[in-house]
Amino acid sequence: MAGPPRKPKTSESARAITADLVAVLVAVTDGEPKIMTIAYAGALPSGPFEFKHRSLQSGLRTWVEQQTGHPLGYVEQLYTFADRGRTGDAKSPHSISISYLGLTREDQVGPGSEAHWSGWYEYFPWEDHRAGPPALLGKLLAPRLRAWSKSAPSAALQRERWQRAAITFGFDDREWNEELVLQRYELLYEAALIPEAVRNGNGAAPVVPGRAMTADHRRILATGIARLRAKIKYRPVVFELMPAEFTLLQLQRSVEALAGRLVHKQNFRRLMEQQQLVEETGAIAADTVGRPAKLFRFRHAVLAERAVAGTKLPLSRT
């Protein structure tokens, strides 16, 4: 091991990169899904990963808790991105983004910082089907995507494009699949219908409603929403977004907020009951309209009792 001191390995530094942590922090307030944003709602909170952190996850928790002043509950890794030119500057240090999904409650977040809660449907207006398919789907997206399909060089490609659009957006009487958030975003990106896709010049292409974000943050957000929409169907994660006590309707509204579609009330209750995910607190909800509802709490025991709790959602077809 002894020997002449060596020069620092500069060849190594050619491969050196930096790592950023990006968080999709979700809360549901008054039946609306929110995400934490910075930079005037134009970016997701992110910070550098430093090696004083024990692990990626603890690094994320550390700075999120610094920013929000409150411990983070459920955390799950989403995806790692590292496309060259992500930052648009070839000279800038190359960076890898490791994204996470985190669940909290809005009222747990302290003041200060530039953090801000934004409704997530501001970024994806076409994803909210709680009041039926949004008008912009048929009025705006369908014709634009049809035009994009027609612009393909061959007839086969034209059909393929429209088929993809129809499947992901539920055109031509197909069913709406709320989990295809990312596929829809990527299709719109490919069709150059959103600002991120036409950012670097290329003229001002026609653009569809929905707020944009820096870099690929909106793509990360789409990934997070898709993951969460899939997860609530087989894991009891909704409860991370609920207060300690809640009525079944409040719980249902939260699920509907995330899924972007309505569920059948009676079936939803039947499911909650037979899976024993909740238990009555004995109290009755105050300040409500209509017949008073029982208050419930999450049965934390289920997490220990079974490994996978199938929290199926009775989604309405209408």
* List of residues contacting DNA (CB under 7 A): 247-249, 264-267, 269-271, 285, 288-294, 312, 314-318
- What Å distances lie between residue 252 and 92, 262, 272, CA to CA? 46, 9, 10
Minimum CB distance to a copy of itself smaller for 119 or for 133: 133
CB of 167 to a copy of itself, least distance (A): 5
Q: Which does 248 bind (CB under 5 to 8 A by kind): DNA, a copy of itself, none?
A: DNA
Q: Which does 266 bind (CB under 5 to 8 A by kind): a copy of itself, DNA, none?
A: DNA
CB of 96 to a copy of itself, least distance (A): 6
Residues in the chain: 318
Neighbouring C-alpha atoms within 13 Å toward the C-beta of 210: 29
Measured CA to CA, the distance from residue 309 to residue 158 in angstroms comes to: 43
Q: Which does 19 bind (CB under 5 to 8 A by kind): a copy of itself, DNA, none?
A: a copy of itself
Identify whether the C-beta of residue 192 lies closer than 8 Å to the C-beta of residue 202: yes
Minimum CB distance to DNA smaller for 147 or for 283: 283
Minimum CB distance to DNA smaller for 80 or for 288: 288
Please name which of 66, 30, 24 lies closest in space to residue 242, comparing C-alpha atoms. Answer: 30
CB of 53 to a copy of itself, least distance (A): 8
Minimum CB distance to DNA smaller for 94 or for 299: 299
CB of 272 to DNA, least distance (A): 10
Q: Which does 53 bind (CB under 5 to 8 A by kind): DNA, a copy of itself, none?
A: a copy of itself
CB of 79 to a copy of itself, least distance (A): 6
Measured CA to CA, the distance from residue 180 to residue 127 in angstroms comes to: 9
Contact partners, residue 133, CB within 8 Å, separation at least 6: 170, 176
CB of 230 to a copy of itself, least distance (A): 10
Minimum CB distance to DNA smaller for 75 or for 251: 251
Instruction: Give the pairing of strands 74-81 and 46-48.
Output: unpaired
Measured CA to CA, the distance from residue 217 to residue 38 in angstroms comes to: 11
Q: Angle, to 10 degrees, between the axis of helix 181-190 and the axis of helix 155-169?
A: 140
Residue type, 52: K
Q: Which does 62 bind (CB under 5 to 8 A by kind): a copy of itself, DNA, none?
A: none
For a copy of itself, the binding residues (CB under 8 A) are: 12-13, 15-19, 48-51, 53-56, 77, 79-84, 93-94, 96, 98, 160, 163-164, 167-168, 177, 179-180, 183, 304-308
Neighbouring C-alpha atoms within 13 Å toward the C-beta of 107: 7
Facing residues of 37 across strands? 116
Q: How many CB atoms lie under 10 A from the CB of residue 308?
A: 7
Measured CA to CA, the distance from residue 27 to residue 118 in angstroms comes to: 10
Q: Which does 315 bind (CB under 5 to 8 A by kind): DNA, a copy of itself, none?
A: DNA
CB of 271 to a copy of itself, least distance (A): 20
Q: Which does 294 bind (CB under 5 to 8 A by kind): a copy of itself, DNA, none?
A: DNA
